[in-house]
Amino acid sequence: MSEQIEIAARTLADLFDTSSPLLPTASGSPKAFANGLDDARKLIEERFTALSELTVLLNGESEKSDAVQGAAIDLFQCSGFFYLALMQYSENLPNSLLMAGYDISVGRMPPVVSKALKRVSFAMKSAITEDITFMCPHLSNMTEQKEFEGRAQVILDKVLAQAIARTEHAVSALQENEKLDGYEPTAEDKALRARCVTIVELLAKLSQHSANPRDLAVRINAFKDSLG
């Protein structure tokens, strides 16, 4: 299993070892624009699959060797890059459509662009929904660490800052769904809530070793209140 983890971690690192944007910007004619969206979707799915495969392997490994813990760190960092790239791509997509001259009103886009947009939007939503799952192995490993002093505490606070921001997005997504008229929790919502609860428990443990435990406690308790 350890060897499989090392191979999966190297594969993941290779996918994120690039100086160019993780996701390309679509442009051009309807066909070219749609192809650009499909290229982005394929890259999203490829990276999401690599993240998911490493997560499954790490969750099934009980021995916490240096290689295994290193792979969990790689998973946390790469998924963080992925999360930021997805959020940026999602925010910029409407502007990319407008800049290319496409009317984003319902029914006004060329069918080839509309279909490609639906596919990439679904891929993005699925990846963002699963994001906090990728944080669990590293955060769980960190809870087993006895002391956080000096550089270790600085690293911890950086990890907590990123993890809290990503958790906040997941909790907010649940809250937005719950505000909808006639809302009934889906299996996806229940699974996301369970992952949020797990992450918040890990954050609560780790925040006790932070340089700013009181400030973090306020945010973490707000998550707990939201999750009920």
- Token readout for 9 is 């971690």
∠ CA 10-198-226, nearest 5°, is 130
**What is the pLDDT at residue 96?**
86
Q: In whole numbers, what is the pLDDT of the chain averaged over residues?
A: 90
Q: What pTM was computed for the model?
A: 0.90
**What is the pLDDT at residue 106?**
61
- Using a pLDDT cut of 90, give the percent of the chain over it: 63
**Centroid of chain to Cα 85:** 10
Q: Rounded distance, CA 62 to CA 136, Å?
A: 14
* Residue 66: other Cβ atoms inside 10 A: 7
- Which tens digit of pLDDT belongs to each residue from 45-73? 999 999 999 999 999 888 888 889 999 99
- Which tens digit of pLDDT belongs to each residue from 78-135? 999 999 999 999 998 888 888 888 877 766 788 999 999 999 999 999 899 889 999 9
**Centroid of chain to Cα 66:** 24
**What is the pLDDT at residue 62?**
84
72-76, 100-104, 160-164: least confident range? 100-104
> Where does 7-139 show beta strands of DSSP type E?
none
